[in-house]
């Protein structure tokens, strides 16, 4: 864990290193991922089976490539009442939030008499990546599938790794609840490549969404263009801005909630109180020792944890904007005031009673969020990621007379006479 203070003479340099040393660039997987994609494109299911044996330790021909709808329903029916109502609460809150994102078509006629507008339509098929390496993620299944359903996507295809061949029943139950059409027991970069190019078994999709580790995130990045993607959602990260009025153990728990995802996850604390900084550092050690995920969380905290002391929270927005973290928790007296100055963040959690983890499961907004500073230019998964917009234009003679001559002039200026002619021929000009 790195301790920094904004009053240190070399702070700017040290902080710049924190900003640039993001995990996805630190873990250099681009070449490995390119080779995996090439193999899946060339050898399809054969390559999928090989990588699954290598990374997940099971033989797909023995354990089965796909989980059928009956097995998903059976898993749902077998849920304890407590888990069933938790899953249903999560699903209904996620659905309500995303239903409000459905865009409206536009259709209007402007002053020149030109009819203009746009219609929204869903993609035909969506590939939903549900992580499953170190932990299983039924919550990510809901976060992927519900907005896709709300958008009106017809074919929902889940890929998820099942290490050692063990399928997580809650993932299957969530697939049943969300109305997923196919569940394939493959994960990693190879699963993303299969969704993009298709194989003999898996028909290709139009868009691949969802979170994953460095290999999954890099595969989506490399395959963008072959297939649509939501954004690059890699190893989790959290920035907590907290004052000394917080309980140190609560803040430590928040930092570790993201550290436990992945050894390359990152947790950062910004505080204006040196004693509180030390109290949180000590509390992290205590909280760590009680975690079943201790090994991963400890590696993440040791390698990528940062505590930054600032003289005043006025310094925090500039630091937060440079970090552009996936999650920003603001546990200060005026969280709203700080949020207004933070422009680059995947999702913001306001106040002392809003731990990030509540957003991971049941708050409603999507937990699939950009990492690796990509909140500078991208947003969390939404209904719009499963839709595209088609504009339309309609003119009559009067409208063409009104705006056509300008188009003719521009076409002539561009040296494109056929363009000019296709307009002028309708204006009665030769
Ligand atoms: N940003 C977000 O919105 C968000 C949301 C949820 C989870 N996450 C992240 O998802 C990730 C889940 O990771 P996970 O590992 O548990 O599951 P995962 O499903 O993302 O990855 C596991 C798969 O990675 C592949 N893999 C592992 N080692 C490999 C190697 N050396 N070479 C090639 N491929 C390899 C294997 O196929 C394995 O099945 C975490 O990093 C977590 O932080 C991010
Ligand atoms: N924090 C993750 C996004 O980075 C989402 C998640 C799912 N389950 C638990 N957490
Ligand atoms: Zn989480």
pTM value is: 0.97
Catalytic residues: 326-327
Q: What is the mean pLDDT of residues 321-344?
A: 97
Per-residue pLDDT tens over the stretch 370-426 = 999 999 999 999 999 999 999 999 999 999 999 999 999 999 999 999 999 999 999
Under DSSP, is residue 243 helix (H, G, I), strand (E, B) or coil?
A: coil
Q: Residue 383 CB: number of other CB atoms within 10 A? A: 24
Q: ipTM > 0.90?
A: yes
Contact 67, 167 (CB under 8 A): yes
Q: What is the mean pLDDT of residues 189-211?
A: 98
Ion ligand 3: protein residues whose beta carbon lies under 5 Å: 360
Ligand minimally distant from the alpha carbon of residue 368: 1
Per-residue pLDDT tens over the stretch 113-164 = 999 999 999 999 999 999 999 999 999 999 999 999 999 999 999 999 999 9
Q: Is the pLDDT of residue 430 over 50?
A: no
Domains of the chain, first to last: 2-26+235-376 (3.40.50.1980), 30-107+123-234 (3.40.50.1980), 395-424 (no CATH)
Please provide the average confidence, as pLDDT, over all residues in the chain: 97
Per-residue pLDDT tens over the stretch 352-375 = 999 999 999 999 999 999 999 999
Residue 94 pLDDT: 99
Torsion (CA) 76, 80, 81, 83 in degrees, nearest 10: -80
* Alpha-carbon radius of gyration of the chain: 25
Cα 384 to Cα 389: distance, rounded to the nearest angstrom: 9
Per-residue pLDDT tens over the stretch 46-99 = 999 999 999 999 999 999 999 999 999 999 999 999 999 999 999 999 999 999
| Residues whose beta carbon lies within 6 Å of some atom of ligand 1 | 32, 55-56, 131-135, 137, 140, 161, 187-189, 211-213, 215-216, 233-236, 261-262, 265, 326, 367-369, 371
């Amino acid at each position: 864990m790195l301790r920094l203070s904004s009053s240190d003479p070399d702070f700017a340099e040290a902080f710049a290193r924190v900003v640039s040393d993001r995990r996805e660039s630190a873990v250099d997987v681009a070449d490995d991922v390119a080779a995996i994609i090439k193999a899946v494109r060339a050898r399809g299911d054969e390559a999928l089976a090989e990588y699954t044996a290598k990374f997940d330790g099971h033989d797909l021909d023995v354990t089965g490539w796909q989980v059928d709808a009956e097995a998903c329903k059976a898993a749902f029916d077998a849920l304890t009442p407590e888990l069933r109502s938790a899953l249903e609460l999560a699903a209904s809150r996620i659905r309500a939030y995303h239903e409000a994102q459905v865009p409206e078509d536009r259709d209007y006629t402007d002053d020149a008499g030109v009819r203009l507008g746009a219609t929204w339509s869903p993609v035909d098929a969506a590939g939903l990546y549900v992580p499953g390496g170190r932990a299983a993620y039924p919550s990510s299944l809901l976060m992927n599938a519900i907005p896709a359903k709300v958008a009106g996507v017809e074919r929902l295809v889940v890929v998820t790794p099942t290490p050692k061949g063990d399928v997580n029943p809650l993932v299957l139950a969530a697939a049943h609840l969300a109305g997923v059409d196919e569940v394939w027991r493959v994960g990693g970069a190879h699963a993303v490549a299969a969704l993009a190019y298709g194989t003999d078994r898996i028909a290709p999709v139009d868009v691949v969404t969802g979170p994953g580790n460095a290999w999954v995130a890099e595969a989506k990045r490399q395959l963008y263009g072959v297939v649509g993607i939501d954004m690059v959602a890699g190893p989790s990260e959290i920035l907590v801005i907290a004052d000394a009025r917080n309980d140190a153990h609560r803040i430590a728990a928040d930092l570790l909630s993201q550290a436990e995802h992945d050894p390359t996850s990152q947790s950062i604390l910004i505080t204006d109180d040196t004693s509180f900084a030390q109290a949180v550092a000590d509390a992290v050690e205590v909280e760590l020792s009680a975690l079943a995920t201790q090994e991963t969380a400890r590696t993440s905290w040791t390698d990528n944890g940062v505590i930054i002391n600032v003289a005043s929270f006025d310094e925090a927005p500039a630091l937060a904007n440079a970090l552009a973290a996936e999650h920003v928790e603001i546990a200060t007296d005026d969280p709203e005031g700080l949020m207004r100055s933070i422009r680059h963040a995947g999702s913001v959690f306001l106040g002392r009673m809003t731990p990030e983890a509540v957003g991971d499961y049941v708050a409603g907004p999507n937990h699939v969020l950009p990492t690796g500073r990509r909140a500078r230019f991208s947003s969390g998964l939404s209904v719009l990621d499963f839709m595209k917009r088609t504009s339309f234009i309609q003119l009559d003679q009067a409208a063409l007379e009104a705006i056509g001559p300008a188009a003719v002039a521009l076409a002539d200026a561009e040296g494109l006479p056929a363009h000019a002619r296709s307009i002028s021929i309708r204006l009665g000009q030769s």
